[in-house]
Chains A and B, each alone.
Chain A
Amino acid sequence: MGKTDFKQLVSVEMRFVYADVFRRKSLLLMLVLWPYMITGFVLIVGSAVGNPQAFASRVGVDPAPFFIVSSFILMSTFVVLDDIMWKPIFDEEVGTMPYIVSSPVNRLMYYIAIPLPRLTLSVVIGLTSVVPVLTLYWGFEGFITSALVLLLGIFSALTFSPLATSVAMATYTYSGESWRLMNVLRPLLMVLVGVYYPRWVMPIAMYVVTALIPPSNSVELIQRLLAGIATVERSLMLLGVATALAVAYLPLTKLSVLRWERSKLKEGVKV
C-alpha cells in the first residue's frame, strides 16, 4: 500500500471536476461560447483597424478559422495552468489541504492528473467550435484539419503541464497562494506562446526563447497546418522539441512542488 496509482488518481479527479461542472451550467455554457466570443471580438476589432483580406494575404489563413483555432488552443493549453493554480487555493478554502499534504501521494503524478479532466472538457469545446467552423470553411479537408487541431490542443496542454506546474508553484512559494503574480505572468505567457499571430513572423531571438515554452511548438505546427505550409520534417521536429522540453522540465516540476509544500510547512498547513 502507499504506491500511487495514476489511473485511479485520474478517475477520482475526473469525478471531482465533473461533479462541479455539471452543477454549474453557466460555466459549461461559458466554456462552449468562449472561442466564438473571442473570435467575434477579434474580428470586430480587427476589421475596424484593417481589413480581413490583408490578414488573409499576410498570414495565409482567413481570420475567422485562424482565431477560432487560436482561441481553442489557448483555452485548452491555459486550462492546465489555471487548474493547477486553482486547486490549492480551493483546497485551502474547503479544508482538504491538510489531508492532501499529509498523504503519501506521488506529487508529480498528482499535479499531472489535476488538469486532465478539464482537458477532456476542452475536447468537447473543440467539437463545438473548431470542428464546425473548419468544416464550414474547407469542407472535408477542414474536418480532417480540425481533428488534428483537437489532438494538437491536447498535446499542447499535456506538454505545457510540467512547466505550468513549475511556474505556478514557484509563484506560490514566492508570494503565497494568490493570483496576484499570475495575473501578470499569465498574459505574458500567452503572448510568448504566440497564439494570436503566426510564430514565423517573430524575430529570431524571440522565436528561440519562446520555443522553450513547449506549447508554442504545437501552436506553430497548427498555424502551419492552417496555412498549408507544414512539412513532415518540420512537424516532427516541432512535436519532438515540445515532448523533449516537457520531459526535461519534469524534475523542475517535482522540485517546485516540494519547495512549495515545504514553504507551507513553516507556518503550518491551515486546517
Chain B
Amino acid sequence: MSIAVEARNLFKKYVTKKRLGLIRSVTEYVEALRGVSLNVRHGEVVGLLGPNGAGKTTTIKILSTLLLPDSGEAYVEGFDVVREADKVRERIGIMLTVEKGFYNRLTGRENLEYFGALYGIPPKILKDRIDKLLNLLELDKLGGSDRLFEEFSLGMKARLSLARALLKDPPVVFLDEPTLGLDPPSARKIRLLVKELAREGKAVLYTSHNMFEVEIVCDRIVMINKGRIVAEGSPEELKSRIPKVRALEVHLREAPNHIINTFKEMGLEVSQYSQSSEETYVLKILTKNPEEVVDDVVKVITSAGLDIVKFKLEEPTLEDVFIYFAGDSSG
C-alpha cells in the first residue's frame, strides 16, 4: 500500500488576544500541536483518536489546506499542503462537521451541485455522481434530494456532508468526527461506508473520541493527546503493547465518588466509573500488578463503608489503553 498522507513533526500554536479593557489586552497561546507525525496509506482507515482539545481538528485542518502549520511538513499524494495547496485541494474530500456547511435555502441536490461546480466537476458527470451518492447514502429515500437543507435532520445533514466529501471521488478523505451526535442508524451507515471507501483503495483519516467507534471502523489507530501522538498501532497491537496492565473491576452498591481521590493518592489510575444497568457502580482501576494492590483497594472500599457486589480482573479495553497512554504523556 502506498502512502497517501504524511505529516512530519507538525507544530501549531494558536495566538489569541483577550481584551481586558478598552486598550489593555493579553495575548494567549494555545499549543495545539506539539510535533505530530502520522501517515495514512491507500486502502486504510486511520483513526485519529483523542479527547476534546487534543488537536484532532487542528491536524485535519492543516492536512486539508485550511490552516498553516508553524513548522513541520505534510504531504497529500506527494504534494506539500502549504506550497502545493492547489494540487492537494484537487485530491481531497473533507467533512468537518455533521451539522453545518451547506446553504439552507438550497435542496440537498442543489447544494451538491454548488460544490460540484467549485470542485470543477463537469455538469454531466456531476449529475450522475450526485444521483449515485444520494442513493448510496439513502438521502433519496429519506427525501433529502429535493428538500431544503434547513429542513434536514442531523442524520441527513451528516449524510449530505459525506456525500460532498466524496463528490469528486477523491483518493484521500478527511473526516472529522463524522458520527458525532448521530442516531445509531445514521452512524452505522456512515461507518459502513467509510470501511467500503478503504476497500476501494482510498486513504481515510477519521477522527473520533469514541474508542468503540475507531475500534470497529479503523485499521490503524493513532492516539493523540495534548498535541502529541501518544501511541499508534492496530487496535489489537495497542492492547498488546501494555500486556502487564490489567483492569481491576469493582462493582459497588453505592457511588464511590468520595474515595476516587484516595486511589489517585495511592498512585492508581482510575480509568472510569459508571453506573451500570442493575443499579451498581463500576469502578475500574488500571494496574500493572493487580495482586499487590487488591488488598489495598478492598481495604479502602470497605473502610469507606461501601459494599462490593462483584470483583473482576479484566483485559484492558481500548479505552483503558487510551487512558494509560494519555496518563503517560501528560506527566
Contact = CB atoms under 8 A, between A and B. Distances in A.
Contacts of B68: 265-266
Interface of A: 1-5, 8-9, 11-12, 15-16, 19-20, 23, 94-96, 98-105, 110, 265-269, 271
A2 B120 contact: yes
A32 to B, nearest CB: 21
Given A94-B102, A94-B104, A5 B94 contact: no
A169 B90 CA distance: 24
B14 A267 contact: yes
A9 B113 CA distance: 10
B16 to A, nearest CB: 9
Contacts of A23: 105
Contacts of B311: none
Contacts of A98: 61, 64, 66, 94, 96, 101
A103 B92 CA distance: 9
A3 B118 CA distance: 9
Interface string B95-108: 01100111111100
Most chain A C-beta atoms within 10 Å of own C-beta, residue among B92, B101, B102, B122: B101
Q: Which of B86, B102, B106, B119 has the most CB of A within 10 A?
A: B119
A23 B92 CA distance: 34
Given A16-B114, A95-B96, 13 more contacts: A9-B117, A12-B117, A16-B105, A95-B100, A98-B64, A98-B66, A98-B96, A102-B92, A103-B119, A104-B120, A110-B118, A265-B68, A267-B14
A16 B57 CA distance: 29
A5 B119 contact: no
Interface string B122-149: 1101000000000000000000000000
Contacts, number: 113
Interface in B248-271: none
Contact of B120 (A5, A95, A99): A5
A105 to B, nearest CB: 4
Given A2-B90, A19-B105, A104-B89, A269 B119 contact: no
Nearest to B82: A265
B65 interface: yes
B313 interface: no
B117 A94 contact: no
Contacts of B120: 1-5, 104-105
B173 to A, nearest CB: 12
B92 A269 contact: no
A103 B119 CA distance: 6
B115 interface: yes
B225 interface: no
A171 to B, nearest CB: 20
B65 A101 contact: yes
Nearest to A266: B68
Given A1-B168, A4-B120, A268 B113 contact: no
